[in-house]
Amino acid sequence: MPRVLSIATLYPNAHVPRFGTFVARQLEALAARGDWEVTVINPIGVPPLPMGRYKALARAAVSGTEGGVDVHRPRFTLIPAVGGPINPALIARRILPLARKLHAAQPFDLVDAQFFYPDGPAAARVASDLGLPLSIKARGADISHWGHRPSTLRQMQAAARQAKGLLAVSAALRDDMAAIGLPADKVTVHYTGLDRDLFHPHDRAEARRQLAQDCNLPLAPGERLLASVGALIPRKGQEFVLRALPTLPDCHLALVGTGADREMLDKLAFDLGVSGRVHFLGSMDHGMLPVVLSAADAMVLPSASEGLANAWVEALACGTPLVITDAGGARELVRSPKAGRIVGRNAEAIAAGVREVLAADYAPADVAAEVAQFSWQANAAALADYYARLIAPQPTP
């Protein structure tokens, strides 16, 4: 059985169990197929003197077998705020001895990076040291953020030149990669997966009863619910959804996620006079997310940039149409009116899109049919085929 060593800074652990769950589900689904053996090195960055959240994160640097995947969590020295350009070197220095040891005990066939930066350049050093082919996956923010900083872009371009293959979560992201000088001829589009046991249309009335009971979010008859699922950061644009609420008097907004914008959004809701209709639900257990999405009439996320957001796919699978901006792979999902509306990144356009979706009142089963092709099994099958191509013997000229 071929073996892949995956370098993934984006991976759940005991301190942040929702961090990078889609990476874990992808690799667990690949391992479950039985035709690839998967080992993950999940480097955890901790400052020399860990305080606050870093102290808890340091305690979460525990290795083990999780979901059929061997996960190793070495700590590397992190310099918060300013260490971005040197993180790949710090990661590689820390993980190389472990990678060599694992490879010596049972050789790998491929080195893989699950995020283009810092994982990609770090994985490139590991692959070069072990003499193995390299694959790097782009997911969105790694290209839109790190790909536009000269010091990090140079490292990404060098890693891409070394890589035998590259992955992108959408065709739009593939184009963004080419625009910053990454070789488009190496890129394979690899769409996300979906847990179909969790994400499917639930009875809306029952979902709302559960939401009222478990999250203290009661809705009166005739009131509508908008959900916005994503980190509370400027790029996700929850501010624009709040600014649309005064013109949507019958709508409540449930914000799922945490982040630096939490205090600003709370104050903005108060200033706009909509605090009573804005509900901060924080970071939710994955099992509760389908309840929120099924209870909602629309999922609204006006991102400035995306790859192809898992939250988009999960909302549609629950029968909830989208109101999103033209970011990343949005047009690869919103291919018919039943999937929702693509709108401008401003309050007026968002409000208009919400009104259209609410008036259309699409049947949840029809909305869910828009993402019938998504599953973790399909995602893993495509990944296994792609990996197999990378390690296949090259024909003799």
Q: Do residues 139 and 42 both lie within one domain?
A: yes
Q: Do residues 312 and 385 both lie within one domain?
A: no
Residue 396 is assigned to a structural domain of this protein: no
Report percent pLDDT > 70 for the chain.
99
* Domain range for 76: 3-193+375-391
The DSSP-derived string for 212-238 is HHHH-----TT-EEEEEES-SSGGG-H
Q: Do residues 158 and 213 both lie within one domain?
A: no
Residue 199 is assigned to a structural domain of this protein: no
pLDDT given at position 347: 98
Q: Do residues 233 and 250 both lie within one domain?
A: yes
Residue 148 sits in a domain whose CATH number is 3.40.50.2000
pLDDT digits (tens, 9 = 90+) for 96-128: 999 999 999 999 999 999 999 999 999 999 999
For the entire predicted model, the pTM comes to: 0.91
Residue 168 is assigned to a structural domain of this protein: yes
For the beta carbon of residue 317, count every other beta carbon within 10 angstroms: 27
Q: Do residues 211 and 155 both lie within one domain?
A: no
Residue 167 is assigned to a structural domain of this protein: yes
How far apart (Å, rounded) are the C-alpha atoms in residues 70 and 141? 27
Q: How many domains does the structure of the chain reveal?
A: 2
Q: Do residues 209 and 187 both lie within one domain?
A: no
Residue 198 is assigned to a structural domain of this protein: no
Q: Do residues 17 and 164 both lie within one domain?
A: yes
Whether pLDDT at 396 is above 70: no
CA atoms within 13 A on the CB side of 113: 34
Q: Do residues 149 and 250 both lie within one domain?
A: no
How far apart (Å, rounded) are the C-alpha atoms in residues 275 and 268? 8
Burial degree of 89 (CB within 10 A; 0-12, 13-18, 19+): middle
Residue 323 is assigned to a structural domain of this protein: yes
Residue 82 is assigned to a structural domain of this protein: yes
Report percent pLDDT > 90 for the chain.
90
In contact, 390 and 329? CB cutoff 8 Å: no
Whether pLDDT at 336 is above 80: yes
Which range among 79-83, 167-171, 228-232, 315-319 shows the weakest confidence by mean pLDDT? Answer: 79-83
Q: Do residues 365 and 260 both lie within one domain?
A: yes
pLDDT given at position 75: 94
